[in-house]
Every structure is written in C-alpha cells, then in structure tokens.
Amino acid sequence: MKMIPFTKMHGCGNDYIYVNAMQHPIAHPQACAIAWSDRHKGIGSDGLVLIDRSPVPEADFSMRIFNADGSEAMMCGNASRCIAKYLYDHNLTNKMAIRLLTLSGIKTLLLHLADNKVERVTVDMGEPMFDMPEQFVSSRYSGKGSFVSMGNPHYVVFTDDIDQVAETGRILEHHPAFPQRCNIEFARIESDGSIRTRVWERGSGITMACGTGACATAVAACLSGRAGRESDIVMDGGTLHIEWRESDRSAEGRFFQKNHVYMTGPAEFVFDGDAELPNTTIAK
C-alpha cells in the first residue's frame, strides 16, 4: 500500500491535511479527504488540501481543497494562509507575495515573518458579491441575514443566539435556494466592537474558523451599519482581522486595492506524517 507524506496545519483551529501534489499527486483526492479527515479512524481534519504547480503563468502555485465529506470547495482563506507558510518554510519559494490559483480565482498572499518563518499572512480575498439566489428571497429565512459571496457562498445571520449554529446551520446549508449548498455564519456584535462568530461550513459542519466566512461577516456588518471597514472576527479557534478597503492604498511596498477584502491571521504547523491511500484510490 502506497504511503503519502503530509503536513497537518491550522489557521485559527481550521485544520487541514496538506499534500505536496508536485511530488505526490493523488488520483482520487475525494476518497482520501473522507478517509483521512475522520477524527476517530483517520488523521482528523476539516479536509484535504493539494498544493501544486500553477497551470497558468499568472499564478505561482495552485490549490485544490476537499471538505471532510469529499466535496470540493472553491476557496478557503485559512487554508491559503497555511499554504503560504508551507511553501516558504519548506523553501519552495522565497517570495514575500505569492500568487495562488484557486477555483475562485487568483489570490495574493502577503507574508509576515518571525525568525525567518511565516507567522501571519494577509490574503487579498478580492471583491465581495451580493447576488442572493432568487429562491431564497421568498423563503421564511429571507431578511434574517445577508448573502455575501467571497468566491464561495455565505449567509450571515446577526443574532444573540450564535449557538444555534448546529441546528440552524445544517438546515440553511441544504436550503433548496442553494443548489450547491451554502456556508452559514451566526454573528454577534460584542461590547468591544469585535464580532463573535460561529461557522457552519458546507461539507464539514461546525468548524473552528472560516476565513471566507470571516470576510463575509465583516462585509455584512459594514453594509448593515454594525461595524466599520475594519473588524476583528472572533471565531471558536481564534481571531482574524478583516479590512474592506474603501480606497486604494500603498504600504510597505505593497498595494491594496479599493473594494478588496483583506484578511490577516496566523498559520500554524501541527505535525508531519505519512498517510496510507484508501483502497479505492490509486496514485498517478
């Protein structure tokens, strides 16, 4: 049975299994994601991330991400930060700004170092979009939250009862208005101005954090007058700083674009290991 080297990492507790697909391509990542993500019988994670070369010159590397149920996601902010750390700390790049190809477009990762290791990463998450599916407008949940797409769909509900995430999150993820399902955030404005948020991530259920979800929450809070252009989003696993740029800005030799959402947070190594390919998979 073939063994695949992996690295487990997390961003604010949102943990994934990372495989260098440039050296170890996997033919059936969906099956691997299901088997390896199992927290009782596998490695335990929110999913599987494959790091690969970019097929287009506009990007430096590419990522594919598979949720714990095997479904493929378009983008993950926490995973993208960890990819930046993996690439730099493993000497696969010396760039301080990495262009990462995802299913929701190319994202720029800006590295922040401590002792020559990546400690934090700022991700240019692009511009938010707000087209709510028509089927949802007439549903009983319409008007209770805000639909924001950060390259993947999010529905943000502001409520004092953020712990309804387990029950209501599951219902909303599978609402008929979302044929591809949806990520759900329950958020509460705290006395210090931070936003306490819990996440139901499509394909994974409750997760400790969600980068795109934090961005969607910050944008929804700004649009509804609950917060300004910058917010600290406090999730179960940690805090992410989100800035929705109102104008262009240059700082420290880096350019920040108007209307783009920038997410800054930690990326942390957990452990390395070797995983056995499930019987249903065959390496390329």
- The residues carrying an active-site annotation are 76, 210
The helix (run of H) or strand (run of E) holding residue 249 is: strand 249-251
Return d(Cα 101, Cα 108) in angstroms, integer. 9
| Residue 44, both tokens | 């335990």
Return d(Cα 238, Cα 194) in angstroms, integer. 12
Query: Phi and psi of 163, rounded to 5°?
Result: -80, 0
SS3 at position 93: coil
* Contact between 107 and 124 (Cβ < 8 Å): yes
Q: At what angle do helices 211-223 and 77-89 cross, to 10 degrees?
A: 130
The helix (run of H) or strand (run of E) holding residue 256 is: strand 254-256
Among residues 27, 34, 62, the alpha carbon closest in space to that of 48 is found at 34
SS3 at position 196: strand
